């Protein structure tokens, strides 16, 4: 199956991008494994004719927003993101109506139509930079209340947070972390900003997924407790084979990130199945928000 996929990728002049939470066999096959920001940048810069995206819908949509002339394939159509579904364009418009005009900073974990209503996007890797780049005293942030809370600690601006959250990160409790710390007293605790503020308070470092891989590589410490989705443990071990990584809780598995199989990938490439294309009337305003974020980050 792996050889078949490699030859189909060549035949279709395709690049295979995978998020750090994808299963090991998919990470191993990908041309680039990364966090949301790295994958967006790559999707905006590739010469490939086809982008095969192993992740969830909002990631493939972001690739389509950035590369409208390429075919973007998501091998499993119903790999979504529950947090992205917690805000709709109509709900956002209704909420904004109740406030004076202010910029809207939208986490990339959102639909293309919500991005289209936004001033600028952000990821976990650049949220603080994005928020502080804006010439405004008040900012609306959607959809992640935890990411918004994290940003609020690093800015003088008043942040109005949408009440969304990632069910996988939000379920990690301080008790889980304290138990893990007791079991591994020498390990540093790295947390993703999608975790609750009381969990972030216990962290030695708060980072995006690729930020964690880099931090582990550069740190003098040889053991780490990981406060993010379980798939990252494979990427961490692969990049740092001599170091030890422990999940902060065994419950942190995103079912949507595990939906794509090697069979789906082969079928998608063979029959060009699973195309994700953002309509032009949404793509154009969404591009402004996504490109604004990329321009700040490269």
Q: Which residues bind ligand SF4 (CB under 6 A)?
A: 56, 81-83, 109, 166-168, 229, 254, 256-257
Minimum CB distance to ligand SF4 smaller for 208 or for 268: 208
User: Rounded to the nearest whole angstrom, what is the least distance from the CB of residue 144 to ligand SF4 in the complex?
Assistant: 8
Contact status: 110 vs ligand 13P (CB under 6 A): no
Query: Which range of residues in 120-128, 136-144, 195-203, 233-241 is near ligand 13P by CB under 6 A?
Result: 120-128
Contact status: 144 vs ligand 13P (CB under 6 A): no
Minimum CB distance to ligand 13P smaller for 179 or for 297: 297
205-224 residues near ligand 13P, rule: CB under 6 A: 208-209
Query: Which range of residues in 42-50, 118-126, 153-161, 267-275 is near ligand 13P by CB under 6 A?
Result: 118-126
Residues 15-54, one symbol each (x = binds ligand 13P by CB under 6 A, - = not), give -----x--------------xx------------------
Total of chain residues touching ligand 13P, rule CB under 6 A: 13
The rounded distance, in Å, linking the Cα atoms of 236 and 226 is: 10
Contact status: 123 vs ligand 13P (CB under 6 A): yes
- Residues forming the site for ligand 13P (CB under 6 A): 20, 35-36, 81, 109, 123-125, 166, 192, 194, 208-209
């Amino acid at each position: 199956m792996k050889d078949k996929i490699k030859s189909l990728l060549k035949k279709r002049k395709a690049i295979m991008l995978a998020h750090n939470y994808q299963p090991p066999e998919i990470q191993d096959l990908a041309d680039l494994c990364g966090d949301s920001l790295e994958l967006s940048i790559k999707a905006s810069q590739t010469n490939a004719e086809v982008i095969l995206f192993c992740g969830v819908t909002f990631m493939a949509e972001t690739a389509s927003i950035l590369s409208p002339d390429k075919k973007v394939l998501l091998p499993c159509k119903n790999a979504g993101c529950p947090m992205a579904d917690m805000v709709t364009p109509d709900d956002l418009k209704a909420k904004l109506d109740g406030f004076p005009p202010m910029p809207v900073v939208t986490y990339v974990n959102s639909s293309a139509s919500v991005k289209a209503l936004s001033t600028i996007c952000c990821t976990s890797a650049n949220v603080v930079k994005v928020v502080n780049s804006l010439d405004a005293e008040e900012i609306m942030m959607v959809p992640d209340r935890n990411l918004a809370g994290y940003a609020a600690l690093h800015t003088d601006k008043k942040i109005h947070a949408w009440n969304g959250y990632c069910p996988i990160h939000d379920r990690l409790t301080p008790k889980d972390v304290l138990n893990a710390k007791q079991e591994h007293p020498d390990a540093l605790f790295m947390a993703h900003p999608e975790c609750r503020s009381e969990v972030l308070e216990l962290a030695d470092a708060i980072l995006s997924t690729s930020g964690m891989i880099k931090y582990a590589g550069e740190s003098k410490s040889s053991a780490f407790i990981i406060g993010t989705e379980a798939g990252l443990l494979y990427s961490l071990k692969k990049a740092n084979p001599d170091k030890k990584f422990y999940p902060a809780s065994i419950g942190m598995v995103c079912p949507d990130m595990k939906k794509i199989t090697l069979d789906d990938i082969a079928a998608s490439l063979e029959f060009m199945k699973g195309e994700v294309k953002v309509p032009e009337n949404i793509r154009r305003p969404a591009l402004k928000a996504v490109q604004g974020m990329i321009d700040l980050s490269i």
